[in-house]
């Protein structure tokens, strides 16, 4: 009669073969060029920050799931991705304890307390970054200058370990000397003192120009500097259909359209849109943070509203708030309204009138 | 000091009077809980819940309130829908049905039935048909699983048998969910 | 201008295994198991008895219900059983089945005859023939075709759509019918157009079947009003709503019938079956079944008698390779998986697939990561993920808002879900749970009504008995009084007593409460009346029970 080796599970019986792990892995791969670039331009410290953060995410995930008596989901790559994303938002010289605190916070408070993968409300990496930014403002805004690997002023591996583990290197004078500001920080500080954008950017901070910003040779968090490589990864994700265009495009539009308008009318006080695009975390935010599936709307209309909101809030925060950079806050704030957006943007079902 | 005491007392007094008036003016006749509960129960007074009739069970539920001294899943004929309604009325979480057996119906062994009509008299929903000295039978779709007919039968020919699932009422189960494979 | 529909997916077609295999008849099986419910609607009751000889095409099951169609003997032989037999269903449950031992002669019943000139026949004649022939939608919905062929009064079918999309992967039976039997199919379509009547017909065929498109275009050339419309392959294009949207650009309003917007969709093989029934008088006793999948040694398209165990088909195709994990009746997107190879082929089964581990999805469910792919894939523009998580926590009351009932269970959402969530199963669970809740509530209401009725009746009986007692007492008193009066008078007869007794008997006879309470106390005449009333009640109850059963 019946053969027990035959399954009688529900249809559909075939599948396109994609999996959560595949999705996460694709995003990790897409981030690899920018990650490599980060290590290249910031040196071994960058690598250490990335490793410590990712590892603490993985360990937290594993231990917490064990505590909850759930199968370990480390294999689904989502914790690794969270760790990598968080690391890329940290300054190159983040002390080890900050990396660990961020990683633990991201997984524990950002994800597992909600019930684990799929249930969290906020992007775990960003909520951890916000947590670190508020808790440790000094460490989170200490920007060493670009310090490429294998260049003359590069730290040795030993120095790098010392910087991350103890906060001091054997060449402290070097560390002090290279402290700098991000272009966005520069702009906010200087214009805040009444200078025009042109004066501000032409003054103490001389490192900024479009080419350097696009390639990543500017100060900033590890992963946010190389707009070009980040965009390349983003396009790879679009082509692989891991993400759709709706959120990135609308997020760029939400930030750059107001930027263009204000710049057109008052270029002395408002920097041009290219500056907004190439500096800070707009590109990494638009392609990798806002598109986090768990914390973004599932409907197309919702994604468009969400993207616009993220972009607009980014611009508002960058221009008028107390913080020079606003991508993390913008995305986290928009995360909070995702359920609402989803509820009001349900597509019109087939055959339903209006 | 005295100013403070006076002013505070005055405010308290004013608030108290206001509240008192409001309570009288906007008094809402509370919908009698018991009545609602009786409405939710099948009303066959079968006694399966351990109380003498549906009204008594409803009263007991009201008396116990939301404390849960009296379980809300005692009504076997009502089953899950009734549990849901009671939970709704009392504002508590629905619980699983009490009985571990699934739905059952009375079955009369017609070979042993002597046609005494005792079960017909006992059945609160007229689900048993038959005449004096003739074998009786149960209208399966009317039977409420209340067991009221089992006791009165002098020859013990009534059994409660589980309802057999047919192709027509077989249902896809709810999937076990993502946490089905809980680590040991 | 060809439109398209929202969503949809592109599963690998896998049609190459069988698409070039010509239809071949399957040898007569040793025993046929013909289930009595192969269509949407009411099951048939058997109209043969065990031991009876039947001829090919003879009716063996029918139903008085409107939404039903007869079942016929697939070949000549002897009925050896009418019994519960496993049906082709994942539950493994049984269905009432007529078991026939073929006599090998395969002799048609004498009554088989075509309609001489169908194009001049009354539509009613053709409609009745389609009903009699047991023709149902062969795309899988198995809805009786004669109902669709009988437009309700005041409704007109502007365009007849013929569904040759065959969007399910692996399946090639419709394709082979179109390639090999194009002429007959077109003739069937012409008969349908005459019957409805309508002057316009569009045949939608996916462009992964160029041979079929060519053959059908060729065959339709000489007919005005029949047009073959190639369509880019996309699942689920063969679902009626999606076919309608792709071809006409219109959406079928939720809850409406196609005829409400002047359309009708029939499967292409249904059209062929209508041709066979009308022109040759042959009822639906056979169908083309694709046997395929990587677990099948030699895939084929088999002309199969209904009632043939699927084991016969698989064996004929060289048997199953080791490592088959799923045997599916129908296509891999919507078909039913079974674990019993003895189940019979029925009208709705277009394919029998044996799939290996690497062809199927067999991974544990993971949490939803809200990627939204299901939303993009859903051809009904629903939000599958939300429906699933609401179903998971039994929030069934919001389902109407999410239009759960519009879900066609096509499986597109499950196909793309990276978390392998059995979305369709959640929907089926929720749909059936809602139905069951509704039924349970209805029964509860009925229980209450019955309890009330009985209580009232018992009460009335009690009152009635008291009244009787009073009457008896009064009669007794009267009699005593009369006797007392008569005693001194000596000669006076005791006449008044008789009318009093009659009154009591009459009162009992008109009593609507028949239960035999205190029957022994009543006189002979009284208990007779009570018995009559009781019998009437029993009959009433039995009738009501039957009605309730039918309703259910």
Q: What is the pLDDT of residues C43-68, one digit of tens each?
A: 999 999 999 999 999 999 999 999 99
- Six token digits for residue C118: 């169908």
Identity of the residue in B172, B178, B179 whose CB atom sits nearest the CB atom of A10: B172
Higher pLDDT pick, A116 / A142:
A116
Q: Which pLDDT score, from 0 to 100, does residue C172 have?
A: 95
- Six token digits for residue B5: 């005491």
> Cβ contact (<8 Å) for B125 and C426?
no
Neighbours of chain C (3+ CB pairs under 8 A): A, B
Rounded (10°) angle between helices A327-336 and A124-135: 120
- Beta carbons of A159 and A169 less than 8 angstroms apart: yes
Q: Could you tell me if B24 lies within 8 Å of chain C, comparing CB atoms?
A: no
Identity of the residue in C370, C406, C420 whose CB atom sits nearest the CB atom of A298: C370
Nearest CA in chain B to A71: B183
Q: Which pLDDT score, from 0 to 100, does residue A354 have?
A: 58
What Å distances lie between residue A121 and A335, A337, C62, C334, CA to CA? 6, 9, 58, 34
Q: Could you tell me if C461 lies within 8 Å of chain B, comparing CB atoms?
A: no
Let me know the angle formed at the C-alpha of B160 by B155 and B166, rounded to the nearest 5 degrees: 135
> In chain B, helix, strand, coil percent, each to 5?
35, 10, 60
CA dist., res. C440 & res. C446, Å (int): 10
Residue C524 has pLDDT above 70, yes or no: no
> Cβ contact (<8 Å) for C429 and B174?
yes
Per residue in A84-99, pLDDT (tens digit) is 999 999 988 889 999 9
Q: Which pLDDT score, from 0 to 100, does residue C263 have?
A: 93
**For residue C91, which residues of chain B lie inside 8 Å, CB to CB?**
165, 167, 170
Q: Which pLDDT score, from 0 to 100, does residue C515 have?
A: 39
Q: How far is C515 from chain B (nearest CA, A)?
A: 8
Neighbours of chain B (3+ CB pairs under 8 A): A, C
Higher pLDDT pick, B56 / A303:
A303
CA dist., res. A94 & res. A175, Å (int): 13
Share of chain C above pLDDT 70, in %: 88
Q: Which pLDDT score, from 0 to 100, does residue C531 have?
A: 56
The residue among C372, C387, C414, C430 with the most chain A CBs within 10 A of its CB, best to mutate, is: C372
- Six token digits for residue C464: 């009635």
The 8-class DSSP code of residue A288 comes to: I
Share of chain C above pLDDT 90, in %: 69
- Six token digits for residue C26: 């399957």
Residue C351 has pLDDT above 90, yes or no: yes
Residue A292 has pLDDT above 80, yes or no: yes
Residue B153 has pLDDT above 70, yes or no: yes
Residue A196 has pLDDT above 80, yes or no: no
Helix (H) or strand (E) holding C287: strand C286-292
For chain B, domains (ranges, CATH) are: 32-90 (1.10.15.40), 101-171 (3.30.70.20)
Residue C256 has pLDDT above 80, yes or no: yes
- Beta carbons of C163 and C204 less than 8 angstroms apart: yes
Higher pLDDT pick, B147 / C106:
C106
Q: Which pLDDT score, from 0 to 100, does residue C551 have?
A: 57
Is the omega angle on the peptide bond into residue C197 within 30 degrees of 0, that is, cis? yes
Cα C259 to chain centroid distance, Å, stands at 20
Per residue in C162-220, pLDDT (tens digit) is 999 999 999 999 999 999 999 999 999 999 999 988 999 999 999 999 999 999 999 99
Question: Which of C124, C128, C127, C147 shows the shortest CA–CA distance to C137?
Answer: C147
Q: Which pLDDT score, from 0 to 100, does residue C331 have?
A: 94
Sorting pLDDT into bands at 50, 70 and 90, what band is C74?
Answer: very high
Per residue in A205-219, pLDDT (tens digit) is 445 667 777 777 777
Rounded to the nearest integer, the mean pLDDT of chain C is 87
Q: Could you tell me if C395 lies within 8 Å of chain B, comparing CB atoms?
A: no
Q: Could you tell me if B139 lies within 8 Å of chain C, comparing CB atoms?
A: yes
Residue A176 has pLDDT above 70, yes or no: no
Q: Which pLDDT score, from 0 to 100, does residue C247 have?
A: 92
CA dist., res. C416 & res. C437, Å (int): 31
Residue C367 has pLDDT above 50, yes or no: yes
Sorting pLDDT into bands at 50, 70 and 90, what band is C505?
Answer: very low
What Å distances lie between residue A76 and A21, A72, A83, B183, C372, CA to CA? 4, 9, 13, 16, 18
Rounded to the nearest integer, the mean pLDDT of chain A is 85
Sorting pLDDT into bands at 50, 70 and 90, what band is B65?
Answer: low
Torsion of CA B95, B96, B97, B101, to 10 degrees: -160
Q: Which pLDDT score, from 0 to 100, does residue B132 have?
A: 87
Higher pLDDT pick, C361 / C143:
C143
Torsion of CA B134, B139, B144, B146, to 10 degrees: 10
Bridge-based pairing of strands C159-164 and C200-206 is parallel
| Number of residues assigned to chain A | 354
End-to-end CA distance of chain A: 52
> Cβ contact (<8 Å) for A12 and C361?
yes
The residue among A2, A3, A9, A14 with the most chain C CBs within 10 A of its CB, best to mutate, is: A14
Bridge-based pairing of strands C351-356 and C324-329 is antiparallel
CA dist., res. C339 & res. C229, Å (int): 39
Looking up tokens 């009547």 gives C197
Q: Which pLDDT score, from 0 to 100, does residue A289 have?
A: 94
Per residue in B5-59, pLDDT (tens digit) is 899 999 999 999 998 888 887 776 655 777 788 878 877 777 777 787 788 888 8
Sorting pLDDT into bands at 50, 70 and 90, what band is B180?
Answer: low
Q: Which pLDDT score, from 0 to 100, does residue B183 have?
A: 38
Residue C516 has pLDDT above 60, yes or no: no
CA dist., res. B55 & res. B45, Å (int): 8
CB atoms within 10 A of CB C87: 24
**Choice among B31-45, C151-165, C424-438 with the minimum mean pLDDT:** B31-45
| Number of residues assigned to chain C | 552
Per residue in A98-139, pLDDT (tens digit) is 999 999 999 999 999 998 888 999 999 999 999 999 999 888
Sorting pLDDT into bands at 50, 70 and 90, what band is B97?
Answer: confident
Residue B102 has pLDDT above 80, yes or no: no
Sorting pLDDT into bands at 50, 70 and 90, what band is C111?
Answer: confident
Per residue in A144-164, pLDDT (tens digit) is 777 777 776 777 777 778 777
Residue A172 has pLDDT above 80, yes or no: no
Could you tell me which residues of chain A have a Cβ less than 8 Å from any Cβ in chain B? 10, 65-66, 69-72, 118
CB-defined contacts B:C, below 8 A: 122
CA dist., res. C477 & res. C81, Å (int): 69
Sorting pLDDT into bands at 50, 70 and 90, what band is C503?
Answer: very low
Let me know the angle formed at the C-alpha of A242 by A239 and A243, rounded to the nearest 5 degrees: 85
Q: How far is A161 from chain C (nearest CA, A)?
A: 37
Residue C28 has pLDDT above 50, yes or no: yes
Higher pLDDT pick, C282 / A140:
C282
- Beta carbons of C181 and C272 less than 8 angstroms apart: yes
| Number of residues assigned to chain B | 184
Q: Could you tell me if A354 lies within 8 Å of chain C, comparing CB atoms?
A: no
Higher pLDDT pick, C282 / C519:
C282
Bridge-based pairing of strands C300-305 and C23-25 is parallel
Q: ipTM score here?
A: 0.87
This prediction has a pTM of 0.82
User: Rounded mean pLDDT of A302-326?
Assistant: 92
Residue C245 has pLDDT above 90, yes or no: yes
Nearest CA in chain C to A338: C370
- Six token digits for residue C400: 């109407």
The residue among A3, A10, A13, A123 with the most chain C CBs within 10 A of its CB, best to mutate, is: A13
Higher pLDDT pick, A314 / C543:
A314
Q: Could you tell me if C552 lies within 8 Å of chain B, comparing CB atoms?
A: yes
**For residue A20, which residues of chain B lie inside 8 Å, CB to CB?**
none
**For residue B127, which residues of chain C lie inside 8 Å, CB to CB?**
450
CA dist., res. C66 & res. A17, Å (int): 45
């Amino acid at each position: 009669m019946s053969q027990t080796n035959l399954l009688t599970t529900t249809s559909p019986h075939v599948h396109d073969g994609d999996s959560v792990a595949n999705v996460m892995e694709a995003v990790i791969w897409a981030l690899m060029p920018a990650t490599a670039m980060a290590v290249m331009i910031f040196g071994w410290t960058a690598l250490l920050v990335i490793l410590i953060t990712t590892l603490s995410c993985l360990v937290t995930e594993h231990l917490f799931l064990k505590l909850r008596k759930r199968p370990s989901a480390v294999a689904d790559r989502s914790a690794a991705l969270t760790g990598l994303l968080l690391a890329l938002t940290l300054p190159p010289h983040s002390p080890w304890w900050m990396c660990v605190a961020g990683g633990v916070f991201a997984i524990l408070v950002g994800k597992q307390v909600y019930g684990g993968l799929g249930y969290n409300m906020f992007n775990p990496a960003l909520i951890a970054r916000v947590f670190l930014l508020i808790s440790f403002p000094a460490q989170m805004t200490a920007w060493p200058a670009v310090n490429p690997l294998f260049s003359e002023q590069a730290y040795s591996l030993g120095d790098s370990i010392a910087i991350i583990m103890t906060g001091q290197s054997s060449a402290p004078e070097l560390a002090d000397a290279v402290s700098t500001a991000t272009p966005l920080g520069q702009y906010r500080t200087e214009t805040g003192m009444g200078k025009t954008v042109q004066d501000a950017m032409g003054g103490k901070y001389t490192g900024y120009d479009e080419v350097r910003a696009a390639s990543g040779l500017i100060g900033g968090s590890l992963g946010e500097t190389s707009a070009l490589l980040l965009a390349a990864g983003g396009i790879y994700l679009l082509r692989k259909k891991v993400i759709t265009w709706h959120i990135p495009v609308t997020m760029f539009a939400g930030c750059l359209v107001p930027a263009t308008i204000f710049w057109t009318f008052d270029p002395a006080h408002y920097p041009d849109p290219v500056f907004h695009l190439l500096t800070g975390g707009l590109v990494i935010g638009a392609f990798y943070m806002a598109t986090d599936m768990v914390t973004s709307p599932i409907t197309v209309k919702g994604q468009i509203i969400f993207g616009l909101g993220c972009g607009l809030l980014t611009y508002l925060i960058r221009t008028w708030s107390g913080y020079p950079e606003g991508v993390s806050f913008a995305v986290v704030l928009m995360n909070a309204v995702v359920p609402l957006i989803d509820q009001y943007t349900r597509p019109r079902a087939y055959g339903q009138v209006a | 000091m005295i100013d403070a005491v006076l002013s505070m007392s005055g405010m308290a007094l004013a608030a108290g009077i206001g509240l008192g008036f409001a309570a009288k003016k906007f008094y809402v006749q509370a919908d009698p809980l018991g009545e609602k509960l009786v409405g939710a129960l099948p009303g066959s007074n079968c006694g399966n819940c351990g109380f003498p009739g549906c009204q008594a069970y409803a009263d007991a539920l009201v008396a116990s309130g939301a404390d849960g001294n009296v379980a809300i899943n005692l009504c076997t004929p009502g089953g899950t829908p009734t549990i849901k309604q009671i939970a709704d009325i009392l504002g508590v979480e629905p619980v699983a049905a009490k009985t571990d057996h699934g739905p059952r119906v009375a079955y009369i062994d017609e070979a042993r039935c002597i046609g005494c009509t005792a079960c017909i008299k006992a059945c609160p929903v007229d689900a048993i048909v038959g005449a004096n000295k003739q074998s009786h039978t149960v209208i399966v779709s009317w039977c409420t699983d209340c067991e009221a007919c089992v006791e009165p039968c002098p020859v013990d020919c009534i059994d409660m048998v589980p309802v057999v699932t047919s192709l027509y009422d077989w249902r896809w189960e709810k999937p076990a969910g993502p946490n089905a494979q809980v680590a040991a | 201008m060809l439109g398209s529909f929202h969503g949809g997916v592109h599963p690998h077609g896998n049609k190459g295994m069988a698409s070039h295999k010509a239809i071949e008849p399957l040898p007569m099986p040793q025993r046929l198991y013909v289930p009595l419910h192969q269509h949407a609607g009411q099951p048939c009751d058997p109209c043969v008895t065990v031991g009876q000889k039947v001829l090919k095409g003879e009716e063996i099951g029918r139903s008085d219900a409107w939404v039903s169609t007869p079942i016929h003997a697939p070949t000549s032989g002897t009925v050896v059983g009418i019994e519960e037999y496993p049906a082709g269903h994942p539950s493994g449950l049984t269905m009432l089945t007529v078991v026939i031992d073929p006599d090998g002669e395969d002799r048609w019943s004498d009554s088989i005859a075509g309609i001489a000139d169908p194009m001049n026949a009354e539509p009613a004649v053709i409609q009745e023939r389609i009903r009699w022939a047991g023709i149902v939608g062969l795309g899988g919905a198995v809805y009786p075709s004669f109902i669709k062929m009988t437009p309700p009064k005041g409704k007109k079918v502007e365009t007849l759509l013929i569904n040759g999309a065959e969007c399910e992967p692996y399946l090639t039976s419709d394709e082979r019918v179109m390639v090999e039997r194009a002429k007959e199919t077109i003739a069937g379509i012409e008969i349908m157009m005459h019957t409805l009547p309508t002057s316009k017909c569009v045949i939608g065929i996916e462009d992964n079947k160029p041979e079929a498109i060519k053959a059908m275009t060729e065959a339709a050339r000489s007919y005005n009003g029949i047009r073959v419309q190639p369509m880019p392959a996309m699942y689920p294009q063969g679902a009626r709503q999606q076919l309608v949207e792709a071809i006409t650009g219109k959406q079928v309003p939720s809850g409406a019938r196609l005829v409400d917007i002047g359309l009708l969709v029939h499967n292409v093989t249904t059209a062929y079956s209508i041709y066979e029934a009308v022109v040759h008088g042959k009822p639906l006793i056979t169908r083309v079944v694709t046997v395929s999948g990587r677990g099948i040694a030699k895939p084929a398209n088999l002309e199969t008698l209904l009632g043939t165990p699927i084991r016969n088909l698989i064996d004929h195709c060289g048997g199953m390779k080791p490592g088959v994990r799923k045997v599916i009746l129908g296509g891999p997107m919507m078909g039913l998986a079974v674990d019993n190879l003895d189940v019979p082929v029925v009208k709705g089964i277009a394919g029998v697939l044996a799939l290996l581990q690497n062809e199927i999805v067999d991974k544990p469910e993971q949490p939803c990561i809200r990627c939204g792919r299901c939303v993009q894939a859903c051809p009904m523009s629903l939000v599958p993920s939300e429906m699933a998580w609401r179903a998971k926590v039994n929030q069934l009351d919001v389902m109407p808002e999410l239009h759960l009932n519009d879900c066609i269970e096509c499986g597109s959402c499950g196909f793309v879900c990276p978390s392998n969530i059995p979305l369709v199963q959640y929907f089926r669970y929720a749909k059936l749970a809602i139905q069951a809740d509704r039924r349970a509530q209805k029964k509860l209401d009925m229980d209450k009504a019955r309890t009330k009725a009985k209580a009232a009746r018992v009460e009335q009986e009690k009152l009635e008995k008291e009244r009787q007692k009073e009457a008896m007492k009064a009669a007794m008193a009267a009699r005593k009084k009369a006797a007392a009066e008569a005693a001194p008078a000596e000669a006076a007869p005791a006449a008044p007593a008789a009318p009093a007794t009659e009154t009591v008997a009459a009162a009992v006879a008109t009593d609507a409460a028949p239960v035999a309470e205190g029957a022994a106390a009543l006189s002979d005449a009284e208990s007779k009346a009570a018995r009559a009333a009781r019998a009437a009640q029993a009959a009433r109850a039995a009738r009501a029970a039957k009605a309730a059963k039918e309703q259910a």
